[in-house]
Amino acid sequence: MNYPNVQVLDHPLIRHKLTLLRNRNTTHRDFRQLAEELAGLMTYEVCRNMQTRPHPVETPLELYEGQELENEVTIVPVLRAGLVMAQGMLDMIPHAKVGHIGLFRDENTLQPVQYYCKLPASTPGSDVFVVDPMLATGGSASKALSLVKERHPRSILFCCIIAAPEGIQVLEREHPDVKIVTLEIDRELNEYGYILPGLGDAGDRIYGTK
């Protein structure tokens, strides 16, 4: 299946770390670290086309005609699981601002329930990365993108670790203007809305809540 809005990042290191992440025997501590590392690798690629502007600095020896990122970056994790991805991205872009969107999926209806939204005042001028490891039915991602769009950012990208075809189709229908970057597209959802083969419940695996 070809999804025009989706970029899948394929790299030997990503394949290696993603396999460790999916392993049911991976500990919470290792899971958190791997998810952060994967988000860091993803950052390298999603920043590829960012504009830079001249930023001259003095080295100890002479003037250097350097560069700096031109636009403000805002990372918006979808709580809870998005927090580890945000940390991995912040390791690469420490000057980025961070917004938070709190959503959980009602386990009966699978609909997202919002409990928090705090975005930087400067969001309208910012390149925004909305981050959440799992794109399953797409309900949470679609809601998060709608909340960010109310602030009219300069650009917006949805970054996840694993995407299900069902969620991609929802985002392509409801947010056709938003590019999705993922590390892998999985096969399908099961009857409870979990991604197969997936990695289980990302929030529970990160925080050890089950």
Enumerate the active-site residues: 105, 109, 201, 204
Residue (of 46, 150, 39, 136) closest to 101 by Cα position? 150
Dist. CA 155–CA 127, nearest whole Å:
5
Between residue 41 and residue 80, which ones bind ligand URA under the rule CB under 6 A?
none
Of the residues 105, 151, 175, 205, which one makes contact with ligand PRP according to CB under 6 A: 105
CB nearer to ligand URA: pick between 45 and 201: 201
The answer to whether 38 touches 18, Cβ cutoff 8 Å, is yes
Residue 132 touching ligand PRP (CB under 6 A): yes
Residue 22 touching ligand PRP (CB under 6 A): no
Are β-strands 112-118 and 100-105 bridged in parallel, bridged antiparallel, or unpaired?
antiparallel
Sequence length of the chain is 210
Between residue 32 and residue 61, which ones bind ligand PRP under the rule CB under 6 A?
none
Dist. CA 78–CA 134, nearest whole Å:
10
Q: Rounded to the nearest whole angstrom, what is the least distance from the CB of residue 129 to ligand PRP in the complex?
A: 15
Dist. CA 24–CA 16, nearest whole Å:
15
| Site residues (vs ligand URA, CB under 6 A) | 134, 136, 193-195, 198, 201-203
| Site residues (vs ligand PRP, CB under 6 A) | 78-81, 103-105, 110, 112, 132-141, 167, 193, 201-203
